[in-house]
Amino acid sequence: MRELPKHYDPAATEGRIYQLWLDGGYFRGLADPAKKPFSIVIPPPNVTGQLHLGHAFDNTVQDILTRWKRMSGYAAVWIPGTDHAGIATQIKVEEDLRKEGLTRYDLGREAFTERVWDWKNKYGSRIIEQLKLLGSSCDWSRERFTMDEGCSAAVREVFVRLYEKGLIYKGNRIINWCPDCTTALSDAEVEHEEEPGKLWHIRYPLSDGSGYVTIATTRPETMLGDTAVAVNPKDERYSHLIGRTVKLPLTTREIPVIADDYVELEFGTGCVKITPCHDPNDFEVGQRHSLPQILIMDDNAKIINGGEKYNGLDRYDARKLIVADLTELGLLEKIEEHAHNVGKCYRCGTTVEPITSPQWFVKMEPLAKPAIEVVREGRTKFVPERFSKIYLNWLENVRDWCVSRQLWWGHQIPAWYCADCGEITVSRTDPDTCGKCGSKNIERDPDVLDTWFSSALWPFEVFGWPEKTPDLDFWYPTTVVTPGYDIIFFWVARMIFSGVEHMGDVPFRTAYIHGLVRDEQGRKMQKSLGNGVDPQEVINQYGADALRMNMIFGSSPGNDMRFVTAKCENFRNFANKLWNAARYVMMNLDREQPPERTDADRWILTKLNRLAGSMAENLEAYDLGIAAGKIYDFIYDDFCDWYIEFSKSSVNPAVLTEALSGILKLLHPFMPFITEEIWQTLYNGETALIVETYPLFDADYDSLADNQTALANIEALIASVRALRSVRAEKNVPAGTKSALFIVTDKRGLFESVERHLKKLAYVTDIEYREPDTDCVTAVIPEAKFYLPLADLVDLKAEAVKREKELAKAVSTRDSITAKLANPGFIDKAPANVVDAERERLAKAEALIRQLTV
C-alpha cells in the first residue's frame, strides 16, 4: 500500500485525477435505453468569459447533480458548450482593432467576422478549460457552440418556421436603441435605474398669439421631434385648446393640441408634448391620432432633422443648447428636480434611447400562452417555487420580442429584400432570386439575431434538432437546468416557450434557480468595483473541493450568498481531516480481524445507512446545502471523533474500510477530487469511485435487532465519555492522570460491553460496579452515576452545588414534559412518534433525577 503524506495536496492531485476520469471515459453519456435518462445542459458561458464565482457556483451544482445521478445508475449526460455572445464578443474584437487604429468598417463584414472567428478559435476554449478545474464532469465529446453548424441550422429553421407561421414579422416600431453599441435591444436587455433628473417646464405659444401652453418634460431635446401636444379630455383647464395649434419653439412647425386619456391630470402641467419617434407612449398616441413621425436622432444619438443649429449635436449637448435657447426666448417657465427611471444598456451601461426603427419582432402572445400553461400545470417545476410567479408575471405581460441586432457577429437573419418589388423572401436556403417577382436584384438583411434567440433553443439543438436523433429522443426533455434568477427572462422563459413551440414539450422538468454570489460586503461582484474573486486563485490555494464545498455548504436554494474566502480554509481543513482519517484506516488494514462485529461497528454502519437515506431525500429536493452539512457532520463527529477513536481500542479493519468507502461514495459528488484520490489508493486503482454505486437506505438492515441494540449501547457510551471528560475538564484533571471508575447502575450490561472504550476514552484504569469507599468527583447520566476517586480534587461543597443545579434542571425538564403529557390536547393531536419521544424524554429525566438523588 502507498504511504500517504500527512497533508492532502490538492494541487498535486486534481490534474491527475481529472485526467484519470477523462481517460476512463466516465463523463461520456450514452443513450442507454436500459437506464433511466438524466440530462443537464450547461448555461453556455460567453466565449469571451473568464471563470468567475457565479460559474463556479452554477457548475458545482450541476456537477453534484450529475455525479450523484451517474452513480445512482442513470444514463447521465451533462452537455457543455459556449455562447457566441453577440455584443460582448464583437466589442472585444473591435477593441483589439481600435488598438491598430481600425474599425470594423475598415475591414468590412466578411473580414471582420473572420477575425472574430479567429479570436473565438484562439480564446474561446479558455472558459471551457477553466470549468474543468472545478472538476466538472461534462461530456466534452458533446461540446457545442451556439454558432456551430448544427446550432446555426436550428436557428435558421426556427426563424423560418416562425416567419411562416406569422410569428416573426418586421415592423417599424419603437425599440430600445443603444447609441454606444449602435444596435437595437430587447426590453429585457434594458436595465432601469432611478436617477436624479429635472423636469423642464416649457411654454409652447399658441399659433394665434393668444397665449401659450406649458408642457413638462425630462428630455427637452426631444421637442425637436414633437408632432402634437396632448391633454386629458376630462381636463377642463385645457378643453378650450383642443383642436387648436401651437408654435413649436426652435422650429418653424405648428403642431396640434389633441386629447388623449394617456395624459395624467395631476402630473406636471397636465400638458404633454408628443414625440412619436422617441417615446413608447407617444408612439402609441401618435398611432391613435395619426400623427406624423419625425425621427430626430441618428444611430449615435446625434441630432438629425432638427434644423441647422442642432443637427449633428450629441443628444446631451443638444439638450444644453436647447435649454439655453429657450431661456433666452423666455419660454422656460421653471425647472423642477425630478427623480426618474432611466433605461441603460445591460452590456455597456449607456442610456438607451427609445427610437422608431425597422426591426424584426417575435410575436409573443401565441408563444407565451402555452408557456404559461406548462408551468401552471407543473410540467416544468420551479425550485424554489416562488420563481414561477416571477416567470408567469413576466410572460403574462411580455411585449413582442425585438430580435434583430445591428451587429455583424451572430446569426444573420435569413431574409432577402427585393429592390424591384419590395418583397421579403425568408428561406431555409439562400435564394438567388426574389420569391415573388423572380428578380435577381435582392439583398440580404444585414442584421443578426439576438444572442438569446439561439440560447433559447439550447436544450434541443444540442441533441441534434432539427434532425430527429436518438439522443434527442432519449434525453429531451432534460431533467433540470440550474440558472441564476438573473436570467429567468433572458434564458429560462425563452427556452420554455421555444421548447413547447418546436418540440411540443417542455425543455426541462425542473428549473432549479439559484441565487447570486456576492462579495464579503454583500455587493455584486463587478469589474469596476475590483471586488471580484478569481476562482482559479482560490483553487490554487485551497483546492477545487474546498471551493465547491464553500459554495454549497450553508447555502439555500434561490438565496444569494456572500463569498468569504476564509471559509475555504475550513473546507481545506475538512479535506485534510478526511485525508488523515483515510490514512488511519489504511494504516490499520493489516491488523488482525476480530471474529464478530462489535457494537461500535454496527453503530457506525447503521448510522451510515441512515445518512444515505436522509441525504437522498435532500438531494431529491435539491437541498444540496443540507445534504452537504449532513455528510460533513457525519465525517467529523461520528466517524472521526467516535468511530476511529473506538477503533483504537478494538479495531475491525473490514468495517473501518467499509465505513470509509461508504463515506467516500456519499461525499464524492460534493468533493470529487479528494474522494477519488483516496479511493484510488484504498483499492489500488482497481476501480473508479466516480462510477461506483451511490449508497441507498436499507430498511431491513436498519431494523436488525443487533443494530438497534448497538445504537442504544453506543449512544450511552458516548454520553458517558462526554460526562466523564466534562467533569475532568471542570476539575482541571491533567490529561495524563488516570483514575479508577466506580459505576452505580442497574444496567451493568450496558457498560460491560464497552469497558474497553470507556477506559481508553475517559482515562480510566479499572472499573468497578459499586459505591466507592472514598469521596469522589461525580458525573451523572440517566443510566448511571459515575464516581472518580480523585481525592485531592474533591470539593464536597462544590460537588453538592453542582448536583443541586443538575437536579433543578432535571426536575424542571421533567415537570414540563409531565405537564405536556397531561395535556389531553397534546396526547390526542400530536403524532404518536412525537408523543413516544416525549415519553422517552420523560423516562430519561426521571432516571437522571433518580441518579442524582441516590
Partner RNA sequence: GGGAGCGUAGCUCAGCUGGUUAGAGCACCUGCUUUACACGCAGGGGGUCACAGGUUCGAGUCCUGUUGUUCCCACCA
Residues 584-623 that bind RNA (CB under 7 A): 584, 587, 617-618, 621, 623
Q: Cβ of residue 679: shortest distance to RNA, in angstroms?
A: 17
Q: Which of 816, 836, 839, 843 binds RNA (CB under 7 A)?
A: 816
Residue 268 touches RNA, criterion: CB under 7 A:
yes
Q: Which of 1, 2, 7, 141 binds RNA (CB under 7 A)?
A: 7
Q: Cβ of residue 553: shortest distance to RNA, in angstroms?
A: 8
Q: Is the dihedral of CA 227, 228, 229, 231 positive or negative?
A: negative
**Considering beta carbons, is residue 423 or 623 the nearer one to RNA?**
623
Residue 139 touches RNA, criterion: CB under 7 A:
no
**Considering beta carbons, is residue 264 or 534 the nearer one to RNA?**
264
Radius of gyration of the chain (CA): 36
Residue 288 touches RNA, criterion: CB under 7 A:
no
- The answer to whether the CB of 502 falls within 8 A of the CB of 457 is yes
Neighbouring residues of 682: CB distance < 8 A, sequence distance ≥ 6:
582, 585, 586, 657, 660, 661, 664
Short-list 352, 358, 242, CA closest to 293: 358
Residues 638-667 interacting with RNA (rule: CB under 7 A): 640-641, 644-645, 648
| Total residues in contact with RNA, by rule CB under 7 A | 98
Q: Cβ of residue 445: shortest distance to RNA, in angstroms?
A: 27
**Considering beta carbons, is residue 16 or 192 the nearer one to RNA?**
192
Residue 841 touches RNA, criterion: CB under 7 A:
yes
Site stretch for RNA (CB under 7 A), options 103-111, 159-167, 565-573, 765-773: 565-573
Residues 69-128 interacting with RNA (rule: CB under 7 A): none
Residue 729 touches RNA, criterion: CB under 7 A:
yes
**Considering beta carbons, is residue 335 or 503 the nearer one to RNA?**
335
- The answer to whether the CB of 757 falls within 8 A of the CB of 736 is no
Q: Cβ of residue 748: shortest distance to RNA, in angstroms?
A: 23
Q: Cβ of residue 518: shortest distance to RNA, in angstroms?
A: 7
Q: Which of 142, 219, 319, 665 binds RNA (CB under 7 A)?
A: 219
Residue 826 touches RNA, criterion: CB under 7 A:
yes
**Considering beta carbons, is residue 127 or 611 the nearer one to RNA?**
611
Q: Which three cell numbers stand for residue 80?
A: 457543455
Q: Cβ of residue 814: shortest distance to RNA, in angstroms?
A: 10
Residue 823 touches RNA, criterion: CB under 7 A:
yes
Whole-number Å distance between alpha carbons of 414 and 429:
8
Q: Which of 53, 133, 216, 659 binds RNA (CB under 7 A)?
A: 216
Site stretch for RNA (CB under 7 A), options 105-113, 418-426, 559-567, 788-796: 559-567
Alpha-carbon distances, residue 602 vs 21, 634, 643, 707, 739 (angstroms)? 34, 15, 10, 6, 29
CA dihedral 52, 53, 57, 63 (to 10 degrees): 40
Short-list 146, 183, 152, 191, CA closest to 49: 146
Q: Cβ of residue 88: shortest distance to RNA, in angstroms?
A: 19
CA 56 to chain centre: 10
Q: Cβ of residue 502: shortest distance to RNA, in angstroms?
A: 25
**Considering beta carbons, is residue 166 or 522 the nearer one to RNA?**
522
Other Cβ atoms within 10 Å of 291 Cβ, number = 22
Q: Cβ of residue 493: shortest distance to RNA, in angstroms?
A: 11
**Which own/partner contact pairs does 807-813 have at CB distance under 8 Å and 24+ positions apart?**
807/849, 807/852, 807/853, 810/845, 810/848, 810/849, 810/852, 811/849, 813/841, 813/845
**Considering beta carbons, is residue 283 or 409 the nearer one to RNA?**
283
CA dihedral 130, 135, 141, 144 (to 10 degrees): -50
**Considering beta carbons, is residue 324 or 827 the nearer one to RNA?**
827
Residue 566 touches RNA, criterion: CB under 7 A:
yes
Residue 636 touches RNA, criterion: CB under 7 A:
yes
Tell whether omega for the bond before 292 is within 30 degrees of 0, i.e. cis: no
Q: Which of 240, 825, 832, 854 binds RNA (CB under 7 A)?
A: 825
Q: Is the dihedral of CA 247, 253, 259, 264 positive or negative?
A: negative
Residue 671, classified by CB atoms within 10 Å of its CB into exposed (0-12), middle (13-18) or buried (19+), is: buried
Q: Is the dihedral of CA 383, 387, 393, 395 positive or negative?
A: negative
Site stretch for RNA (CB under 7 A), options 169-177, 370-378, 579-587, 789-797: 579-587
Q: Cβ of residue 119: shortest distance to RNA, in angstroms?
A: 30
**Considering beta carbons, is residue 184 or 581 the nearer one to RNA?**
581
Mark residue 701 as left, alpha or beta (left: phi above 0; alpha: psi -120 to 50; beta: remaining): alpha
Taking residues 305 to 344 in sequence order and writing x for each that binds RNA by CB under 7 A, - otherwise, the string is -----------------------------------xx---
Q: What is the bridge-based pairing of β-strands 381-383 and 764-768? A: unpaired
Phi/psi of residue 596, each to 5°?
-125, 165
Residue 6 touches RNA, criterion: CB under 7 A:
yes
**Considering beta carbons, is residue 206 or 390 the nearer one to RNA?**
390
- The answer to whether the CB of 291 falls within 8 A of the CB of 260 is no
Residue 289 touches RNA, criterion: CB under 7 A:
no
Q: Which of 152, 207, 251, 269 binds RNA (CB under 7 A)?
A: 269
Residue with cell 413516544: 836
Helix (H, G, I), strand (E, B) or coil at 585: helix
Residue 60 touches RNA, criterion: CB under 7 A:
no
**Considering beta carbons, is residue 216 or 434 the nearer one to RNA?**
216
Residues 348-367 interacting with RNA (rule: CB under 7 A): none
Residue 836 touches RNA, criterion: CB under 7 A:
no
Whole-number Å distance between alpha carbons of 772 and 762:
18
Q: What is the bridge-based pairing of β-strands 144-145 and 81-82? A: parallel
- The answer to whether the CB of 135 falls within 8 A of the CB of 672 is yes
**Considering beta carbons, is residue 28 or 839 the nearer one to RNA?**
839
Residue 822 touches RNA, criterion: CB under 7 A:
no
**Considering beta carbons, is residue 431 or 554 the nearer one to RNA?**
554
Strands of the sheet with 245-247, listed across from one edge: 245-247, 254-259, 228-231, 271-274
Residue 626 touches RNA, criterion: CB under 7 A:
yes
**Considering beta carbons, is residue 111 or 801 the nearer one to RNA?**
801
Q: Which three cell numbers stand for residue 262?
A: 394617456
Helix boundaries (H) for 25-78:
53-71
Residues 372-431 interacting with RNA (rule: CB under 7 A): 386, 389-390, 393-394, 397, 399
Residue 217 touches RNA, criterion: CB under 7 A:
yes
Site stretch for RNA (CB under 7 A), options 163-171, 191-199, 301-309, 368-376: 191-199
Alpha-carbon distances, residue 765 vs 96, 361, 646, 715, 758 (angstroms)? 78, 85, 17, 22, 10
- The answer to whether the CB of 52 falls within 8 A of the CB of 173 is no
- The answer to whether the CB of 27 falls within 8 A of the CB of 140 is yes
**Considering beta carbons, is residue 50 or 618 the nearer one to RNA?**
618
DSSP string over 513-543: -B--EE-TTSPBP-TTTT----HHHHHHHH-
- The answer to whether the CB of 510 falls within 8 A of the CB of 479 is yes
**Considering beta carbons, is residue 50 or 580 the nearer one to RNA?**
580
Whole-number Å distance between alpha carbons of 604 and 611:
10
Q: Which of 196, 734, 822, 854 binds RNA (CB under 7 A)?
A: 734
**Considering beta carbons, is residue 137 or 550 the nearer one to RNA?**
550
Q: Which of 309, 748, 829, 839 binds RNA (CB under 7 A)?
A: 829
Taking residues 488 to 507 in sequence order and writing x for each that binds RNA by CB under 7 A, - otherwise, the string is -x------------------
Residues 744-783 interacting with RNA (rule: CB under 7 A): 760
Residue 671 touches RNA, criterion: CB under 7 A:
no
